[in-house]
Chain A
Amino acid sequence: MLRQMEGSHAVAEAIALCRPEVICAYPITPQTHIVERLSELVQEGEIGNCQYINVESEFAALSVAIGASAAGARAYTATSSQGLLFMTEAVYNASGLGLPIVMTIGNRAIGAPINIWNDHSDSMALRDAGWIQLYAETNQDAVDLHIQAFRLAEQLSVPVMVCEDGFILTHAYERVDMPDLNQVQAYLPPFEPVQILDPADPVTIGAMVGPEAFAEVRYLAHHKHLQAVEVIPQLASEFAKIFGRDSGGLIQQYRSEDAETVIVALGSVVGTIRDVVDEMRDDGVSIGAVKVISFRPFPMLALRAALENAKRVIVVEKAFADGLGGIAVNSVRMALRGLTTPIYTIIAGLGGRAITKASLLRAFGEATRDELDDPHFLDLNWTVIDHELARAKEKRRSGPIAENVLRDLGLVGGKPV
C-alpha cells in the first residue's frame, strides 16, 4: 500500500511485518524513531508475543539480541554512530557465533567532535566485523532490504546490518509502498534455527577455539560471505516475484552500461548522483552511476563487469581513512585489479554536510577532464583550513584541531580568546 511516511516509521513497520520475537532498544540519534515506533507496535499487540527490552547500553542491546537469537528467537535492534562503536565487541561476537540478527544502522558521524548528522564513518568502521552490510538509497530500499535481510541472515547464519543515512532517510517523509503481512510471510518463513539453546538437547555454544582450528573457522566465515554473493541476487529476484519490485541485489546500474565515466556510491547520495548524471547526459557527457547495495560481501565480479569498460571511475563516499583517503575505493580498486582505469575518490557529506548537485557537477566535470585531485574533499572551507594550518605551522606543538578552530573563532568557553 502506498503511504506517505517517515523513513524510520516505514522501517519500524517493515520490521514488524518480519515478526521479530525479541527487540532490544537503546536510544541514539538518528535511529531512535525506529525503536520508538516499534515499542508502540509491540504495545499495541501488532507483533504477536514479541518481547521489547529497554536496555542500558548499545553493548547490552546487541548482547540481548545475541542471547535471544541463540535461544532461537528472531532478534532485532537498531543503532547509530557511537552506539555501534560501543557495541563493537558484541558485533564481532554475533557474527562469530553465526547468529542471524538484523540490525539497522541509522548512519551518523563519529566524534570527537561530537556530531549527530549523517556520514558513513560508523558502519564503515565495522565493515570487516563479519556482518553483511546492505546500504539503502531510499526509504523504499530500506523497507525492502530489511525484509530481505532476515531471509539472508537466517539462510546463511550470518548477521546483517541494513545501513540507511541518518536524517536524510530516517527523518525524511516520502512515499513508501508498504508491503502487507501476507506478502512478507510468503517471502520470509518463520525462523528455524540450526542450533539452539535447548535443555532437551543441550549444546555448548561459544566454546574456546585454539590455534588448531581457529583459522579454519575464520576461513569458513569468509566462505559464507562468498556464498552471500550468490544468495543476495537470488533473494532479490524472489523478492521481485512476490512484491513486484526490483529491490536489493548486489549493485544497481544507472545509465552506466555505455558510460565513459562511472560514479560508484552507496546510500542516499545515489539519488542526487542520478540527477547529476541526467543533467550531464543532457549536456552530452558520457556518464553513469553504479549503486553498491551490498558493501559486505563486496560484489567483486558484478562491480568489475559494470566498470571494466569505463574510462574512469569516481567513488563518492561519506567516510575516509585519515592520511590515506577513501575506504570503499579500496574495495573498488580490488575489483578492478589488473586494469589501468583511473579511479578518483570524492569524500563528501561528512558530518551531515549537504552534498549538492552543483558541487557534484563541478567535481564530476573536473574528473571527466582528469583535473580532479585525488582524494578530493568536496566543498571544504579553505579559509578555515588555511588559517589553522598557518597557525599550526608557527607552533611546534599545535594541539587539538576542533578547539583550535573554535578558539580562532573566539568561541572556546563562551568567551573571546
Chain B
Amino acid sequence: MTQRIKFYQTGTLTVGNRLLDAENRSVQSTIDRSNSLTSGHRACQGCGEALGARYVVDTAMREADKKLVAVNATGCLEVFSTPYPESSWQVAWMHSLFGNAPAVATGVAAALRAKGREDIKVLAQGGDGGTVDIGFGCLSGMFERNDDVLYVCYDNEAYMNTGVQRSGQTPPTARTATTPTSGGSKGNVFGQGKNAPQIAMAHDIPYVATATVADLHDLENKVTKAMGLSGARYIHVSVPCPLGWGSQPCDTVRLARLATETGLFPLFEAEHGAVTNATKIRRKVPIEEYLRPQRRFAHLFKPKPDVEALAAIQAIADRNILKYGLLG
C-alpha cells in the first residue's frame, strides 16, 4: 500500500474506511472469495495463524486465478485443518513433513515446469519452527536456487503445536515450556534468535516482506505483490497465539498491532536484498504496552518490574525504529 493515510478515526488507530479510495476500502467479501481455508477447522479461539493463512491463501488464489497448489509444513496450521477424516482446504494442498515444505514446493514447481503448466502457482507455508529452525536448510536452498515459490512463514514465536517450546523466533525473556521462569530464570535469553527476513534478503531473492494480522489489507497487498513476481519470495507474518503467549483471544489483532507500533516487529518490503518500503508507525508505543497483556512476559512485571530486561527490550525496539526509519 503506497498511499499515505494521515486521517484516523477519533480514539482509534483505524483508518476510516470512507477516507480511503475505493480500491483500498474494506468491503464485504464477495461470493468469489475462494475461502480456501474454510470454516469448521479446529484452530483455537483467537488464532492468529488461522486468520493470517485465510487471508494469504485467499489472496494467492485470487491472484493466481485459482490455479494454485499449496504445500504445508507440519504444525498447527496443518493439524487444525486436516483432522481425519476432514479437511478445511478448498485448494490443492499437500503436507509432507515438518522440515521439507520449501523443498516439496520446489518439487511441485519443477513438475509444473516440466509439464508446461507454469500458469499454476506454488505457495508454501509453515510456522516459525518449521520455517526458521527445522526447515531452514530447505528454505535457504529454495531461496538460493530462486525457485518459483512464494513461502509464507506464520510466526507465533515458539513451537505452539507441540505445547509452546522455544524456537529460533522466540523473543528474549519470553517464557516457554523450554525456557521456564522457575528457579530465578528470566525465560528466553538475550542475544539469541535469528532474523529470518534479513537472512532471506541476504539471498538476494526478488521479494521479502513482513506483515501482521493487524493490517490485513497490508498483508493482502504484499501477497498480491509477491504473486505478481516470479522466483523465490518470502513473507514473514506475525501471528499472535493466545495459547502460547498467554493472551486473550480477543487481543490477537491488538497485540499484532502493538508488536508493530512498538517497533518490535517492523513492517517492510525488500526487493533483491534492499529494503524498498517500511511502514511508518504513528506513535512509538512503549514496549510495556505490548508485553503486559501476555502472560509469557508476566515475570517482567511481577513481583516488581525487571527494569533491566525491559530496557533491553526497549533498546531492541528502538534499534528497529532507527534501522528501518519507522518514525516520522
Partners in one complex: yes
A68 to B103, CA, bound (A): 10
B103 touches A71 (CB 8 A): no
A205 touches B95 (CB 8 A): yes
A57-B137, A60-B103, A199-B69 known; A208+B84 contact, CB < 8 A: yes
Residues of B contacting A207 in the complex (Cβ-Cβ under 8 angstroms)? 82-84, 87, 95
Within 8 A of B (CB), among A181-238: 197-199, 201-210, 212-213
Residues of B contacting A53 in the complex (Cβ-Cβ under 8 angstroms)? 106-107, 110, 145
A117 to B96, CA, bound (A): 32
- Does A56 have its Cβ within 8 Å of any Cβ on chain B? yes
Selected from B93, B104, B114, the residue in CB contact (under 8 A) with A63 is B104
Residues of A contacting B109 in the complex (Cβ-Cβ under 8 angstroms)? 67
A203 touches B110 (CB 8 A): no
Within 8 A of A (CB), among B14-50: none
- Does B189 have its Cβ within 8 Å of any Cβ on chain A? no
Selected from B84, B99, B107, B144, the residue in CB contact (under 8 A) with A22 is B107
- Does B140 have its Cβ within 8 Å of any Cβ on chain A? yes
B91 touches A199 (CB 8 A): yes
Residues of A contacting B92 in the complex (Cβ-Cβ under 8 angstroms)? 197-199, 201-203
A54 touches B145 (CB 8 A): yes
Residues of A contacting B67 in the complex (Cβ-Cβ under 8 angstroms)? 199
A56-B140, A197-B69 known; A64+B94 contact, CB < 8 A: no
A202 to B66, CA, bound (A): 10
A63 touches B90 (CB 8 A): no
A59-B138, A65-B107, A67-B106 known; A204+B87 contact, CB < 8 A: yes
Interface digits, A26-66 against B, CB 8 Å rule (1 contact, 0 not)?
Answer: 00000000000000000000000111011111011001111
B138 touches A63 (CB 8 A): yes
- Does B328 have its Cβ within 8 Å of any Cβ on chain A? no
A54 to B90, CA, bound (A): 32
- Does A90 have its Cβ within 8 Å of any Cβ on chain B? yes
B94 touches A205 (CB 8 A): yes
Selected from A90, A203, A208, the residue in CB contact (under 8 A) with B100 is A90
- Does A89 have its Cβ within 8 Å of any Cβ on chain B? yes
Interface residues on B, range: 35 or more
A66 to B94, CA, bound (A): 10
B94 touches A60 (CB 8 A): no
Most buried by A among B79, B107, B112: B107
Most buried by A among B64, B72, B106, B111: B111
Most buried by B among A22, A64, A75, A212: A64
A228 to B141, CA, bound (A): 36
A59 touches B93 (CB 8 A): no
Closest residue to B69 on the A side, CB-wise? A197
Residues of A contacting B157 in the complex (Cβ-Cβ under 8 angstroms)? none
Interface residues on A, range: 35 or more
Selected from A56, A71, A89, the residue in CB contact (under 8 A) with B111 is A71
A60 touches B115 (CB 8 A): no
B114 vs chain A, min Cβ distance (A):
4
The B contact surface, by secondary structure, is: mixed
A89 touches B84 (CB 8 A): no
- Does A299 have its Cβ within 8 Å of any Cβ on chain B? no
- Does B113 have its Cβ within 8 Å of any Cβ on chain A? yes
- Does B105 have its Cβ within 8 Å of any Cβ on chain A? yes
Residues of A contacting B120 in the complex (Cβ-Cβ under 8 angstroms)? 199
A34 vs chain B, min Cβ distance (A):
19
A72 touches B111 (CB 8 A): yes
Within 8 A of A (CB), among B230-284: none
Residues of B contacting A212 in the complex (Cβ-Cβ under 8 angstroms)? 84
- Does A93 have its Cβ within 8 Å of any Cβ on chain B? yes
Within 8 A of B (CB), among A66-86: 66-73, 75
A158 to B163, CA, bound (A): 34
B104 touches A64 (CB 8 A): yes
B97 touches A90 (CB 8 A): yes
A25 vs chain B, min Cβ distance (A):
12
A43 vs chain B, min Cβ distance (A):
15
A206 touches B96 (CB 8 A): yes
B96 touches A90 (CB 8 A): yes
Closest residue to B99 on the A side, CB-wise? A59
Query: A residues within 8 Å of B by Cβ?
Result: 21-22, 24, 49-51, 53-57, 59-60, 63-73, 75, 89-90, 93, 97, 197-199, 201-210, 212-213
Question: What 13 new A-B contacts, CB under 8 Å, besides A67-B104, A202-B91?
Answer: A24-B107, A51-B114, A53-B106, A56-B140, A59-B100, A63-B138, A67-B111, A70-B104, A73-B107, A198-B92, A202-B93, A205-B94, A208-B78
